[in-house]
A and B are shown apart, each in its own frame.
Chain A
């Protein structure tokens, strides 16, 4: 069986600067992978380029051994919260319902079965009591759970989440990580852009440490070794290195 996601020699430029250089990695089925690295390391850029959302300079992406175009509908993407217009006239349940759109054909509207499925997904993230609220009325953590429900509704094989834990409450973070683990048990693959190193080891099987180039890709405990981590964070931690200590939060 081929790997869930294969990225080969990826180069991406952003506003004329090359921010992702020669990144090659491969993620097996049924794993949770975190992409970590300092600010400006190109984490979100790498994820967006792998999804074909922004143009790349060079590189190949295979999803389950097939080109991206053939497997697009089996990929669910949860954007950063800042990318969404929270004043949009749309209710919570209708956001989740969007997850059923990719597999509905052109001209076909979501029917009863799609609505029931969306309601079920909303229940999985514990947000069923908020179904008719406008999305802007929710807290940050609740909004993130609704977008995860939308990803669930998509019945995807590969889940990509961009900074899902930024600015959300502890309970929501706990709910989200439990659902991600459940997805993993079902054999799905989850890739998360993440910036908080303190929980990285407990959340992810593998970590991809990025600072424009791929610094290290391996099991979480391997990547979180101080001598590896400092390679990516050398700028931020230069003042700490002298005393030989690394603060990883």
Chain B
């Protein structure tokens, strides 16, 4: 099917429109939040938190409440647990992450298996953007709005506490609170992305577009806009491939964003591998 046919279908089917809006919002918020996650050296933490929402989502299903609440609960508890283990033993931070999130994730798998709904598990893990309901779309849009508002209002504080936490602390910014608020926002973004990319691949949407932008600019605010842009383009193109070839939306979206990363990795004017080796060769040639 051509791209035109996709556009036609987009005008025709409401489910596809919902999928599109949800994907666009997920692309934006993952890109924006991802910038702070990677610059704070928390990529692995992002992976952990996103996986740790699984039991929360499962328990919410079981009790028939909105899975947003359960997800935030287990996500934040895991973040606190990781901090507790690494601060109170010789276990390093990355080890604590590896132990805690896999355990929590395993609990989630067992709960869902006991609920005997493996179809749900598949969709939670890998995303099924074409099945987005109206209520899901509104939840994603409101979480997105909240994230964008927070980042806009506290941009200054986020910048200084990310770049130089010591300075932030020395003039009285509450670094610990900023960290835990980011953890909460991270679980919310994971929930918002559940249906689009799924739990397993949320971390890719957090890291890959932000990392692509990181290779292309030396200014944080430009990086944030670019990351959001790459997030949106990846989401929309991924949705197209998912719809057209009947593939899991999470996988197609992530692959598109990985493609952009590869392009930046090789061709970035300042950081790209290609220019670097070209310049190095030129420098060597000028000496011989």
* A98 adjacent to B169 (CB under 8 Å): no
**Chain A residues positioned under 8 Å from B167 (CB to CB):** 77, 79, 98
Instruction: Give bound CA distance, A89 to B219, whole Å.
Output: 5
* B169 adjacent to A53 (CB under 8 Å): yes
* Partner of B166 from A77, A89, A90 at Cβ < 8 Å: A77
**Chain A residues positioned under 8 Å from B220 (CB to CB):** 88-90, 94
| Chain A proximity mask over B158-186: 1 for CB below 8 Å, otherwise 0 | 01101110110111100000000000000
* B153 adjacent to A72 (CB under 8 Å): no
* Partner of A101 from B156, B166, B219, B222 at Cβ < 8 Å: B156
| Chain B proximity mask over A35-51: 1 for CB below 8 Å, otherwise 0 | 00000000000000001
* B166 adjacent to A72 (CB under 8 Å): no
| Chain B proximity mask over A82-118: 1 for CB below 8 Å, otherwise 0 | 0111001111001100100110101111100000000
* B218 adjacent to A90 (CB under 8 Å): yes
Instruction: Give bound CA distance, A172 to B162, whole Å.
Output: 27
Known A51-B170, A101-B171, A102-B171; contact A90-B219, beta-carbon cutoff 8 A: yes
> Shortest Cβ distance from B258 into chain A, in angstroms?
21
| A13, CB-defined interface residue at 8 Å | no
| B217, CB-defined interface residue at 8 Å | yes
Instruction: Give bound CA distance, A91 to B217, whole Å.
Output: 10
> Shortest Cβ distance from A52 into chain B, in angstroms?
8
* B219 adjacent to A79 (CB under 8 Å): no
Instruction: Give bound CA distance, A110 to B220, whole Å.
Output: 15
* A79 adjacent to B164 (CB under 8 Å): yes
Instruction: Give bound CA distance, A101 to B171, whole Å.
Output: 9
Pair count A-B, CB < 8 A: 67
Specify the chain A residue showing the minimal Cβ separation from B152: A107
**Chain B residues positioned under 8 Å from A98 (CB to CB):** 159-160, 163-164, 167
* Partner of B171 from A73, A85, A88, A91 at Cβ < 8 Å: A73
| A75, CB-defined interface residue at 8 Å | yes
* A85 adjacent to B156 (CB under 8 Å): no
**Chain B residues positioned under 8 Å from A89 (CB to CB):** 39, 214, 217-220, 222-223
Known A101-B156, A134-B218; contact A88-B166, beta-carbon cutoff 8 A: no
**Chain A residues positioned under 8 Å from B155 (CB to CB):** 109
> Shortest Cβ distance from A161 into chain B, in angstroms?
13
Instruction: Give bound CA distance, A77 to B166, whole Å.
Output: 9
| B120, CB-defined interface residue at 8 Å | no
**Chain B residues positioned under 8 Å from A95 (CB to CB):** 163
* B218 adjacent to A75 (CB under 8 Å): no
Interface-centre pick from A52, A94, A104 (highest chain B CB count, 10 A): A94
| A69, CB-defined interface residue at 8 Å | yes
**Chain A residues positioned under 8 Å from B219 (CB to CB):** 89-91, 94
* A72 adjacent to B170 (CB under 8 Å): yes
Instruction: Give bound CA distance, A102 to B169, whole Å.
Output: 11
**Chain B residues positioned under 8 Å from A106 (CB to CB):** 154, 157
* A88 adjacent to B163 (CB under 8 Å): yes
**Chain A residues positioned under 8 Å from B222 (CB to CB):** 89
Instruction: Give bound CA distance, A75 to B157, whole Å.
Output: 18
> Shortest Cβ distance from A150 into chain B, in angstroms?
8
> Shortest Cβ distance from B212 into chain A, in angstroms?
13
Instruction: Give bound CA distance, A91 to B170, whole Å.
Output: 22
Q: Which of A53-89 contact B (CB under 8 A)?
A: 53, 69, 72-73, 75, 77, 79, 83-85, 88-89
Specify the chain A residue showing the minimal Cβ separation from B168: A101
Specify the chain B residue showing the minimal Cβ separation from A69: B172
* A73 adjacent to B163 (CB under 8 Å): no
* Partner of B170 from A53, A94, A108, A110 at Cβ < 8 Å: A53
Instruction: Give bound CA distance, A187 to B154, whole Å.
Output: 35
**Chain B residues positioned under 8 Å from A73 (CB to CB):** 171-172
> Shortest Cβ distance from B211 into chain A, in angstroms?
12
Instruction: Give bound CA distance, A108 to B222, whole Å.
Output: 19
Instruction: Give bound CA distance, A98 to B162, whole Å.
Output: 12
**Chain A residues positioned under 8 Å from B223 (CB to CB):** 89
Q: Which of B214-233 contact A (CB under 8 A)?
A: 214, 217-220, 222-223
Known A88-B39, A89-B217, A90-B220; contact A75-B163, beta-carbon cutoff 8 A: no
User: With contacts A72-B172, A98-B164 known, what are 4 further pairs, Cβ within 8 A?
Assistant: A69-B172, A98-B167, A109-B155, A110-B156
Chain A to chain B: the 8 pairs with minimum beta-carbon distance, closest first: A134-B218, A102-B171, A77-B170, A72-B172, A89-B218, A89-B223, A88-B163, A79-B166
| Subset of 29 A-B contacts with CB under 8 Å | A51-B170, A52-B170, A53-B166, A53-B169, A53-B170, A72-B170, A72-B171, A73-B171, A79-B164, A79-B166, A79-B167, A83-B164, A83-B166, A84-B163, A84-B164, A89-B214, A89-B219, A89-B222, A90-B159, A90-B163, A90-B220, A91-B218, A91-B219, A95-B163, A98-B160, A98-B163, A102-B172, A110-B156, A134-B218
